[in-house]
Structure 1
Amino acid sequence: MTESNLDLAADGPQPRGRVPGGVQSLERAFELLEIMADAGGVIGLSRLAQESGLALPTIHRLIRTLVDLGYVRQEPSRQYSLGPRLIRLGDSASHLLGTWSRPYLSRLVDALGESANLAMLDGDRVVYVAQVQSRQSMRMFTEVGRRVYPHCTAVGKALLAHLPPIDVHTLLERTGMPAQTEHTITEPRRFAEEIDRVRAQGYAMDDGEQEIGVRCVAVPVLGIANRLAVSVSGPAPRMTPDVVERAVPLLRQAAEDLADELSVPRSAGPDRIAG
């Protein structure tokens, strides 16, 4: 019996987001990698089975293959972690993501005059993957690749607001809630109220919580597998309530357009939606 037949005969439900006509073993392998990423990069077999719904023999076979290829490694604790061979793929993908997002970020800068950013939830941190800077002499600069705590940034709040509350609670237990400034929310109950407010209004604010004198507004990029958020940031005196009010619908449109861009398959060819 071939490996493909073995996979088809294996017990367990179909992977989430099953692609019609896809190769089942590939879908299952990538599903396991995504579950590992959602768990912070390290996970045990029992949780992989619980989250995926796959039978343990199927998971063992897939994980063993991923370990042999370097995409997963086994820890001394006998848990499994994302492997070093993924780093090169991630670096290349992040570079391309920055290229694809630049037209949308540039439109925000043109419309609002402040710096625009794209950030991603990567494990327990938020990483900035792209930025287009304001053309004003005093502007906000965030180094691409910078990793920050999610609880004190607008992009982080926007991303956490679309996770199940239990996942948010677990993440914050792992990271703690260290104060970056005197305005950082460090109390779990108050932060839960903040996240409820973000969910209700559809956007998040950081008012000097990551850096004194900086105000930022962000929205999530919905409808794609990656956890992304777009934001506009600037000096607090320029980021007035009026500017924030103008920024929110523009951010939402940019997020929708970027989601459309990222959801178009590469195989779509010349009819692919232009940025």
Structure 2
Amino acid sequence: MGAEASTGVKSVSRVFDLLELIADAGGDATLSQLAAAAGLPLPTIHRLLRTLVGHGYARQLANRRYALGPKLVRLGEVANRQFGLIAKVQLQGLVDRLGETANLATIDGDRVVYISQVPSPHAMRMFTEVGGRARLHSTGVGKAILAQLSDDEVRDIAARAGLPRATARSLGSIETLLADLAICRERGYAIDDEEQELGVRCFAMPVPDMPVLTAVSVSGPMSRVSEEFADLAIPMLRDAAADISAAASAA
């Protein structure tokens, strides 16, 4: 009985490892790629994938690569909503003190997904729909997330997703992106300076010690979100990031 339980637990662990490997590969991978990454025999990987496909948590594409399945979408949406609720108090505190829209976002494949938001009370304000996705390299939260990765990991993401320019100020090459991320790591926060939308500035801070790469931000029109605004906002973002991390650990 003990041996059977141990085998069962090991199989569950391998299934989760496979899902994470597919996600790390950008959303799809070949059987041989997964076997090499997992360090397991091809028949074992094939058996586990067949189980995942049968339950809708993976799917086999026409080119015989394996991708994440539709069942994960519902689980992810529910998890994101619950995760976003944890930060609501901290986001509201940022808005109350700074007057600008506050967001919480996580990485989702090669994109950033917004999982919680408290809007600014101003009539002219920034609004991003919760559940909305955006490019990692052209958003404040996205760059705060990328700054938590190695340069090689950033290069892999850029190779898969490309670096399209949303505005003339967007970072359009891997060299400029890596240089910007080096600055982000040194100072501890990221800036979207009209890179996603003209006339908009965003300050974003990584949230430490989270189960998935996460960032918190405040954004608004450049007329209000100035360098003087940054002097006030950055310490508050740092405190909010620490509080969100602590709340997530306690949940």
Tell me the TM-score normalised to structure 1 length.
Answer: 0.84
CA contact (8 A) 2:148 2:213 kept: no
User: Where does 1:102-121 land on structure 2 (aligned, <5 Å)?
Assistant: 102-121=88-107
Q: Once the 2 structures are TM-superposed, how far is the Cα of residue 262 of structure 1 from its aligned partner?
A: 2.0
Residue 165 (structure 1) aligned to one of 144, 151, 154: 151
Change (3 A) 1:96 1:45: same
Change (3 A) 1:250 1:49: farther
CA contact (8 A) 2:104 2:114 kept: yes
Q: Once the 2 structures are TM-superposed, how far is the Cα of residue 184 of structure 1 from its aligned partner?
A: 0.9
Change (3 A) 1:236 1:181: same
The one-letter code sitting in structure 2 at the alignment partner of 1:27 is S
Matched, 1:98 2:100: no
Change (3 A) 1:54 1:103: farther
Residue 137 (structure 2) aligned to one of 139, 146, 151: 151
1:189-226 deviations in whole A, cap 9, x for unaligned?
11111111111111100011111110001011221221
- Determine the structure 2 residue equivalent to 1:202: 188
Residue 89 (structure 1) aligned to one of 45, 62, 75: 75
Residue 262 (structure 1) aligned to one of 223, 231, 248: 248
Structure 1 gaps of 5+ residues are: 8-22, 266-275
- Determine the structure 2 residue equivalent to 1:38: 24
Q: Once the 2 structures are TM-superposed, how far is the Cα of residue 149 of structure 1 from its aligned partner?
A: 1.0
The one-letter code sitting in structure 2 at the alignment partner of 1:53 is G
4+ runs of 1 displaced by more than 6 Å? none
Instruction: Give me the whole-angstrom Cα distance separating, in 1, the residues matched to 2:206 and 2:29.
Output: 26
Instruction: Give me the whole-angstrom Cα distance separating, in 2, the residues matched to 1:53 and 1:129.
Output: 34
C-alpha RMSD over aligned residues: 1.9
CA contact (8 A) 2:210 2:248 kept: yes
Change (3 A) 1:5 1:98: closer
SS in 2 for 1:151: coil
Instruction: Give me the whole-angstrom Cα distance separating, in 2, the residues matched to 1:224 and 1:24.
Output: 24
Tell me the TM-score normalised to structure 2 length.
Answer: 0.92
Instruction: Give me the whole-angstrom Cα distance separating, in 1, the residues matched to 2:164 and 2:62.
Output: 29
Question: Kindly, what percent of the aligned residue pairs are identical?
Answer: 49
Matched, 1:141 2:127: yes
CA contact (8 A) 2:31 2:65 kept: yes
Instruction: Give me the whole-angstrom Cα distance separating, in 2, the residues matched to 1:57 and 1:215.
Output: 51
The one-letter code sitting in structure 1 at the alignment partner of 2:244 is L
- Determine the structure 2 residue equivalent to 1:65: 51
